[in-house]
C-alpha cells in the first residue's frame, strides 16, 4: 500500500431510499432522500459537509450529483460524479474515505443512486460489435463462470440456487428491499431460465434506489456531530483493478478473484478473514456470492458452495452473508449498491438490524465488484 | 452504387481470405518479451506491459472452456434466440467468446473440441454483410 491513512475515519450516519421501482420519481429524488436520511442519522447539518462524491452509471443527464444536492442548498462545496460500473457507489465511499484519511477534508458525503433500465444488462454501447457477436451479456458472463465452477468443483446447481433462497429469506425481513417474497429451492430452480444454469431468481433484478453515508475524521467529530456512541470505524478501504492472470481456473473471465484488493484491505485493517463476523459480497448472480467468499479467503477455494448448502452463510450461521437480501433480493441499483452494503454493515454493527440482526458482530466486510475488473473492499469495525 | 461486400466484424480479430467470407483466420498479437498471445489488438502486453508486440495468426480451433444458453439477448443481437454462447480456449491461450452453431444442447460438454465457423451476423449502414467468427463442433 503506497499511501497510508494519516488518521482514523468513522461513518457518522447512513441512509437509504428503498430499492424497487419508482416510475414517479427521477434519479435525483431517490438520491436526495438517501442523503437527507444519512444527514439526519449522523445529526450533521448539510452546510457543514465539505465534499460530496456521487456514484451512478447510466446517463440520465449531466452533473447529477450537483442536481441532487442543489435541493439541499447551494454551499459551494466540490461535488464529484463517479462512474465505476457496479462499484460506483463503493468507489465514491472509497474516495470520501481517502479524502479524509489523507487530511484534505474532515467531513464528507458519499452517496449513490440508479434507475436501471429494464431488460438484459450489457457493458458495451449498443452499436458495439460485441452485441453482434453476442458476447456482451452480464448474466451470460456469470453463467459462464457458474458452468465452469460447477465443472471444476463438482458443485450441483441446487447449491447455487440455495444462495437465492437465503437471499430472499433475508430480504423478507428488510422493509427497504425490492422483494419481500420467499422462494423454495424448487421455485428458484424452476423459475424462467435466463442463461443456463442461471434462472431468473438467481440473477439480480433491475432496480432503482439510493444510498448515502456521512464520513468524518475521528479527531474532528466534536466539530460536527454529537458523540452518540453509534459511530462505526472504517478499518480498511481498498480499490483495485485486474492484473493479468494465467489460464485455467484463474482466468479472469471465469474468476474475477481480485486478491490484490483483499490483501490490501486485510493488511490495512490488521484483520484477517477469520475476524470477519458479517459479510456483504457482490451477488449480482448466485455464483458471485459463492466465488467471492472464496476470493476473500473466508472459505477455502472450491468450498463456497458447501458453505451455502450447510447454512453457514445464513443470518444464524457463522459467516452471515448478504444479510439484507443482497443484490439478488434487496435489488441492484448499480450506483447505490456499494453504499447499501456499507449501510447494512453499519446497521448490524450498531445492533439496529431488528429481525435480521446478527448476534453481536464486531467486524464487517463489504465487497463490491464492477465491469472492468473493479473490486472495492471496505472493512468496518465497532 | 458500390457493390455490397462481406466484411469482418472486427478487422483486428478476423481476416477474411476470400470474397465470399467463408474462409478466414483469427488474428492476434504475440509479445516478443514474455511470449503471451492476445486475441485482437492490444497496445502493450497485458502480462508484462512490453510494447514489443508482433502480429500473429491464431489457431482456428480450440476447446470449450465454458458455455451458456442465452434466452434473452441485449439489443443489437441479430441472430437466433436462444443461442449458445461458448467461451473457447485457443491452443495459444486466449479465450474467444462467440456463438456455438449447429450443436444440439445435449451435445455440449466442457472440454469438447470446436472449430471456427464464419457466418453473416448482420449488415452495416452501407448494406455490407458483416461476417462474425463463431464456433462449431470440430470434425473428428
Ligand atoms: Zn509480455
CB-CB under 8 Å, A254 with B74: no
pLDDT score recorded for residue A311: 97
- Residue A1, pLDDT score: 54
CA distances from B86 to A56, A143, B27 (A): 31, 11, 18
CB atoms within 10 A of CB A135: 24
Q: Which of B46, B76, B99 sits opposite A126 (nearest CB)?
A: B76
Largest CA distance in chain B: 48
Q: Is the dihedral of CA B27, B28, B30, B36 positive or negative?
A: negative
All 3 cell numbers of residue A224?
A: 460536527
Q: Are the beta carbons of B76 and A247 separated by less than 8 Å?
A: no
Cβ-proximal residues to A81 (8 Å cutoff; 6+ apart), any chain: A54, A56, A63, A64, A65
CA A303 to ligand 1 center in whole angstroms: 33
Q: Where are the domains of chain B?
A: 6-137
- Nearest residue in A to B83, CA atom: A134
Average pLDDT of chain A to the nearest whole number: 93
SS3 of A184, please? Answer: coil
Helix (H) or strand (E) holding A136: none
Task: State mean pLDDT over B12-40.
Answer: 96
Of the partner residues A120, A147, A247, the one whose CB lies closest to the CB of residue B67:
A147
A192 chain-B contacts, CB cut-off 8 A: 71
When scoring B48, B87, B92 by the number of chain A Cβ atoms within 10 A, the one with the most, hence best to mutate, is: B87
**Contact status, residue A217 vs residue A106, Cβ threshold 8 Å:** yes
Closest in A129, A147, A151 to B10, CB measured: A129
By C-alpha distance, the chain B residue nearest A132 is B77
> What are the tens digits of pLDDT across the range A254-293?
555 667 889 999 999 999 999 999 999 999 999 999 999 9
Whether the predicted pLDDT of A147 surpasses 80 = yes
Which position among A17, A56, A86, A204 bears the catalytic label?
Answer: A86
Assess contact for A213 and A11: CB atoms under 8 A: yes
pLDDT in tens, A297-349: 999 989 999 999 999 999 999 999 999 999 999 999 999 999 999 999 999 99
* Arithmetic mean of pLDDT, A112-139: 86
- pLDDT category at B54 given cuts 50, 70, 90 is very high
Cβ atoms A86, A369 nearer than 8 A: yes
Give the distance from CA A189 to its chain's centroid. 25
* Residue whose C-alpha is closest to residue A52's, from A215, A219, A260: A215
> What separation in angstroms does the CA of A124 have from each of A129, A196, B1, B94, B117?
9, 22, 32, 20, 24
The residues spanned by each domain of chain A are 9-118+206-381
Model ipTM value = 0.94
pLDDT value of position A255:
59
**What fold, for A9-118+206-381?**
Peroxisomal Thiolase; Chain A, domain 1 (3.40.47)
DSSP symbol at A10: E
Percent of chain A at pLDDT exceeding 70? 96
In whole angstroms, what is the distance from residue A198 CA to residue A300 CA? Answer: 23
Amino acid at each position: 500500500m503506497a499511501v497510508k491513512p494519516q488518521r482514523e475515519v468513522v461513518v457518522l450516519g447512513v441512509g437509504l431510499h428503498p430499492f424497487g421501482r419508482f416510475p414517479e420519481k427521477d434519479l435525483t429524488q431517490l438520491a436526495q432522500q438517501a442523503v437527507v436520511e444519512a444527514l439526519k442519522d449522523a445529526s450533521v447539518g448539510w452546510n457543514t459537509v465539505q465534499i460530496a462524491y456521487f456514484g451512478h452509471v447510466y446517463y440520465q443527464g449531466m452533473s447529477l450529483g450537483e442536481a441532487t444536492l442543489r435541493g439541499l442548498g447551494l454551499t459551494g462545496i466540490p461535488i464529484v460524479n463517479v462512474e465505476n460500473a457496479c462499484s460506483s457507489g463503493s468507489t465514491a465511499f472509497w474516495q470520501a474515505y481517502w479524502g479524509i484519511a489523507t487530511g484534505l477534508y474532515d467531513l464528507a458525503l458519499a452517496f449513490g443512486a440508479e434507475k436501471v433500465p429494464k431488460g438484459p444488462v450489457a457493458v458495451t454501447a449498443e452499436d458495439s460489435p460485441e452485441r453482434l457477436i453476442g458476447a456482451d451479456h452480464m448474466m451470460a458472463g456469470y453463467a459462464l463462470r457458474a458452468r465452469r465452477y460447477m465443472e471444476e468443483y463438482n458443485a450441483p446447481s441446487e447449491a447455487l440456487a440455495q444462495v437465492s433462497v437465503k437471499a430472499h429469506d433475508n430480504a423478507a425481513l428488510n422493509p427497504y428491499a425490492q422483494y419481500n417474497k420467499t422462494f423454495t429451492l424448487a421455485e428458484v430452480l424452476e423459475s424462467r431460465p435466463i442463461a443456463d444454469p442461471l434462472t431468473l431468481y438467481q440473477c439480480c433484478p433491475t432496480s432503482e434506489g439510493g444510498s448515502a453515508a456521512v464520513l468524518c475524521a475521528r479527531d474532528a467529530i466534536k466539530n460536527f456531530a454529537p458523540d452518540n456512541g453509534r459511530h462505526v470505524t472504517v478499518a480498511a478501504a481498498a480499490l483495485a483493478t485486474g492484473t493479468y492472470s494465467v489460464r485455467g481456473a484463474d482466468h479472469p473471465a471465469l474468476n474475477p478473484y481480485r486478491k490484490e484488493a483483499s490483501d490490501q484491505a486485510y493488511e490495512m485493517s490488521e484483520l484477517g478473514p477469520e475476524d470477519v463476523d458479517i459479510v456483504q459480497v457482490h451477488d449480482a448472480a448466485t455464483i458471485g456470492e459463492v466465488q467471492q467468499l472464496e476470493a476473500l479467503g473466508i472459505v477455502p477455494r472450491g468450498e463456497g458452495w458447501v458453505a451455502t448448502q450447510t447454512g453457514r452463510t445464513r443470518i444464524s450461521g457463522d459467516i452471515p452473508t448478504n444479510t439484507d437480501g443482497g443484490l439478488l433480493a434487496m435489488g441492484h441499483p448499480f450506483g447505490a449498491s456499494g453504499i447499501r452494503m456499507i449501510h447494512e454493515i453499519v446497521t448490524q454493527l450498531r445492533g439496529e438490524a431488528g429481525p435480521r440482526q446478527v448476534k453481536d458482530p464486531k467486524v464487517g466486510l463489504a465487497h463490491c465488484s464492477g465491469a472492468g475488473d473493479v473490486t472495492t473492499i471496505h472493512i468496518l469495525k465497532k | 452504387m458500390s457493390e455490397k461486400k462481406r466484411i469482418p466484424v472486427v478487422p483486428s480479430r478476423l481476416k477474411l481470405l476470400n470474397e465470399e467470407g467463408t474462409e478466414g483466420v483469427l488474428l492476434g498479437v504475440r509479445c516478443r518479451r514474455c511470449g503471451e498471445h492476445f486475441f485482437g489488438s492490444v497496445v502493450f502486453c497485458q502480462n508484462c506491459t512490453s510494447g514489443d508486440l508482433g502480429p500473429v495468426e491464431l489457431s482456428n480451433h480450440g476447446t470449450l472452456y465454458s458455455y451458456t444458453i442465452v434466452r434473452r439477448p441485449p439489443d443489437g443481437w441479430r441472430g437466433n434466440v436462444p443461442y449458445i454462447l461458448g467461451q473457447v480456449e485457443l491452443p495459444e491461450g486466449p479465450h474467444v467468446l462467440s456463438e456455438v452453431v449447429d450443436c444440439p444442447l445435449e451435445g455440449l460438454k466442457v472440454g469438447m473440441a470446436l472449430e471456427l465457423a464464419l457466418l453473416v451476423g448482420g449488415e452495416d449502414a452501407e448494406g455490407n454483410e458483416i461476417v462474425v467468427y463463431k464456433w462449431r463442433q470440430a470434425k473428428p
